[in-house]
Structures are given as C-alpha cells and as structure tokens.
Amino acid sequence: MMTAAILVAMFWMSSPSRAEIAPSTAPLMPSAGFTSGLKSIHPLLGSRPIAQSVLLKDLTTGQIIYEFKADRRLSPASLTKVMSALVILEYGHLQDYVSVSSKAASTRKTRLRLRAGQVFALEDLVKAMLITSANDACLAAVEHVAESEEWFVLLMNTKARALGLLDTHFSNACGFDAPDHYSTAADLATLSEFALRHPVFKAFVRSELEIITAVNVNRSYLLRNTNRLLGRMPGVEGVKTGFTSKAGRCLIAKVSQNGKQLLLVLLHTTRRWNTASNLIEYGFQQLDTATAAMQ
C-alpha cells in the first residue's frame, strides 16, 4: 500500500498549471478518408443527437471514423472504473486479501451487497468492479491499495496527467456524479487503449460470467457482465458500461472483426445498445469501403 507522504509528493510534482487544465476548444475532426461517409450516419441513427458525445476510432490506423463533441467534458459514471482498475493493477497485488470495510459495504447504487468483514482476494474485487460495476467491491479495493479513497484519487489524477488526459479530472474512484468529476470521449478512448494493453485488464473486461467467493465465510457472488454486446455481437472484447442520472447511459466498447478493430465511446445516450450496434456496423462498413477503394 502507498503511504500518504508519497502520494502527496506524487500529486504536487504532477499537478498541471491553470493554463494546462483549461477546457479544450478545438474539436476532433474525422480523418479525410472517412469524411465523405459521415452524412449517411444521421439517417441511420435518426435526426436527433444520438448522444451528447461520441468517438468511433479505427484502432489499426488511429483514424477517427466518426465523432460528435468528443472533447466535451461530461460525467463519465462508471467508466471511471477503467482508471481505478489501472491504478489498482499498477500499485496493488492481486493475491492480497482485502477485508471489506463498513464504508465500502454501505456504498450507494450498483453493488454486490458485500458485508463488512468479508475477505476477498484483491483480484476478485477488481473483477467485480469491471464486470458488474460493483461500487462496494470498487471501494474496498481502492481503500486497500491507498489506505483511503482520497489518496487513491490523487493517484488517479496523477495517472491521468501522465497519459495526457488534460480534459479529465476525478473526485472519486467509482464514478459518482460530482462537479469536478469529468472526462471526455477523446480522453476515455486514450485511456481505454492504454488499459487494453494490460493483459489482466483485457481478460477481465471481456469475461461474460465469473463467480467470486469470500475466503473467510461461505458466500459466493455471481458476476454477470453489464456489457450486453458481449456474446451477442461478433468480436466484442469489452470494455465498460456506466450509468448515473447525470451521465446518462455510457459505454466504451472494443470490437474486432476480420482483422479490423474499432473502439467506440458513447457518453450520455439513451438507446445505448441500438446506438452502439449501429455505430459499430457503420464503422466496419466504412473500413470495408476504404479497403476496397485501395485495391
């Protein structure tokens, strides 16, 4: 576990200046190779905005296929847990045993209803926070790694700055709405690409079902992935869902088909699964068209 003194030192060394954290005003632009196809997506998805922010990216080339206000700062809900998991994997030891605190057991919203005093392997708590987005598992894990959620959040913001996520700031580890808790579709895409390089993270977010068991009592919990695209759309490999009243329904999804890879970030959408499916289908159509044009 990290000591408070080390955490404070890391935070101040990495804190950006006021100029560095000013909102970005330059919107992302789609790559020239895909610009001609953008108009067709609106009839496909309807005349109303499909989400408050969208980014659809070709991971093979790095080109943006489609974007809508991708630099807009919004509440990321439980997409926050992508960063939380990264920090845990960096500073924690997955085979550690973690005792669930009273604070973690009583946390709000989505949870497994863990009980104070139950003990789990840290690895299982990370599975629960990524697969079912369990806030009690999330808080228990972060308290173990950094002694308190406050110190853990310092590590999250330090990591955000190290990754160049200048339009991202966290005030809690699990994704609750707060005025100073925000990110953008562009930043979340960058974060997800980095996270997916970690083999443990990559394996957890693509798992449809898992069972975790407390080591000190006879109690098991079924983890069912909140990402409904898994097992229903070919090539889906995660990544994370989120929802709060302020953030709306959010999604990060990675999909691989026929040697092509897409990353989709949706923030504050209503028809999450239909919108995601249509955008992913659109993205692969655009890639197929671009490939055919080159032959």
Residue-wise pLDDT for 203-230, tens only, equals: 999 999 999 999 999 999 999 999 999 9
The closest of 291, 241, 234 to 269, measured between CA atoms, is: 241
Q: What is the pLDDT of residue 136?
A: 98
Residues facing residue 55 across a β-bridge = 67, 265
The span from the CA of 179 to the CA of 133, in Å, is 21
Say what the pLDDT of residue 206 is. 96
- What local confidence, expressed as pLDDT, does residue 292 receive? 77
**Confidence (pLDDT) at 3:** 53
Residue 291: per-residue pLDDT: 77
What pLDDT score was predicted for residue 46? 54
Give the tokens for residue 270: 């209503």
pLDDT digits (tens, 9 = 90+) for 233-272: 999 999 999 999 999 999 999 999 999 999 999 999 989 9
Q: What is the pTM of this model?
A: 0.85
Which residues of the chain carry a pLDDT beneath 70? 1-48, 295
- Choose the CATH number for 32-294 among 3.40.710.10, 3.20.20.70, 3.40.50.970, 3.40.640.10: 3.40.710.10
Residues with catalytic roles: 78, 81, 133
Q: Give domain limits for the chain.
A: 32-294
